[in-house]
Structure 1
Amino acid sequence: MSSQPQPASRPSEPAAPDAGTLAGAQQLTDVITRLRRALRSSIRSEFPWEALPMAQVELLQTLAVAPMRVGELAARQRLAPNTVSGLISKLLESGLVDRQPDPGDRRTARIALTEAGHQQLRDWRSAHERRLAAALESLAPDDRAAVMHALPGLDLLARSLAGTDPTR
């Protein structure tokens, strides 16, 4: 009988994607990167007031659902708590959020959108929707239909990547 320790067993790794799936993933990565960059730059050139960094916009979107503690926000956004605290400080300074007492724990505070924060988020969404609608209208009808047809699959892909895929 050997007294040598046995190597720990590893959970089985997922199978490597086939070449076609990998090529599709590479193309999707490129398209998403270019789409995000184009949307950010075009929205700022057409709507110069839009200066909120995307990380702050994402916090506002999360807080639009319900007020949260900094730790909860950090977990939701998958960011370090100190990063979220810095972003919240800037949002507090600009009056887009405020601190509220947490009814469940008086030692902590929840961050909530102010009316100015709600309005900024509505303006941001409206500007992006107008920009995307104009870009969609500039496409040939078949291309526009293809983009619209892909939306449910892209939504499922986003949920899968976030670990919130309801089909699992």
Structure 2
Amino acid sequence: MTSSSTVSRWTRSANPAHREHGTDRQAWRAYWEATALLRDRLEKQLKDEANLSLTDYNLLLLLKEAGGSMRMGELANRMVFAPSRITYRIKHLVERGYVTREVEGADRRGAVATITDAGRDCFRDAAQLHSAQVEELFLNRLQPGDAEVLLRVFEDVGCHLDTDS
């Protein structure tokens, strides 16, 4: 069998002759490039068919999973967003009627986002589309054992980064 440095592998490098050296660095580059393509494809199809961005889909998902409401700070934390960015995205969803935003507490510094019935309906339709996309574009590409490896790797990376921040 040939070494990994001589095996022809997929890359989007501007010059494949100058590709990363070593399987670990090639794996990182393939992950980085493939996930960019995957997110782009998921985003385009969600926008075209459900009129939702991937970010807005994820916000609605988190609100639904939280039982319908979540404090804005917690929402920003889970999305790994700055508070100003979450405020902007929630404002957009409020304008579309998918979310309400209400000030909370005596000091009125906190706010809670709540998914509306229209938001639930939009999310339900988008979730069906998104699930089919994930199946077609990602899950159908996995070989036996791949899912377990990916789960182990990204749970480990996620746990490390989540506790490191």
TM category, shorter: 0.5 to 0.7
Q: Does structure 1 residue 62 correspond to structure 2 residue 81?
A: no
Is 1:150 aligned with 2:146?
yes
State the distance in 2 between where 1:164 and 1:119 align: 35
* Residue identity in the other structure for 1:28: Y
In structure 2, the CA distance between the partners of 1:159 and 1:82, relative to structure 1 (3 Å rule), is same
Structure 1 residues 28 and 95: alpha-carbon distance in aligned structure 2, compared to 1, 3 A threshold: same
Q: CA deviation at 1:82?
A: 0.7
* Rounded Cα–Cα distance in structure 2 between residues aligned with 1:43 and 1:125: 9
Mapped pair 1:128 → 2:130: yes
Shift of 1:94: 0.8
TM-score by length of 1: 0.66
- Identity, in percent, stands at 24
What's 1:3 paired with?
Answer: none
2:81 is paired with a residue whose SS is coil
Max radius of gyration: which structure? 1
Pairing 1:22–2:18 present: no
Per-residue CA distance 1:65-85 (angstroms, 9 max, x = gap): 222121111112111101110
Deviation at 1:56, TM superposition (A): 1.5
- What is the match of residue 159 of structure 1? 155
Preserved contact between residue 60 and residue 115 of structure 2 (Cα < 8 Å): yes
TM-score w.r.t. structure 2 length? 0.67
Q: What residue number does 2:11 align with?
A: none
The whole-number CA distance in structure 2 between the counterparts of 1:19 and 1:27 is 12
- The equivalent residue for 1:90 is 92
| Aligned-pair Cα RMSD in Å | 3.0
Gaps of 5+ in 1: 1-17
Deviation at 1:93, TM superposition (A): 0.9
Q: What residue identity is the alignment partner of 2:23?
A: G
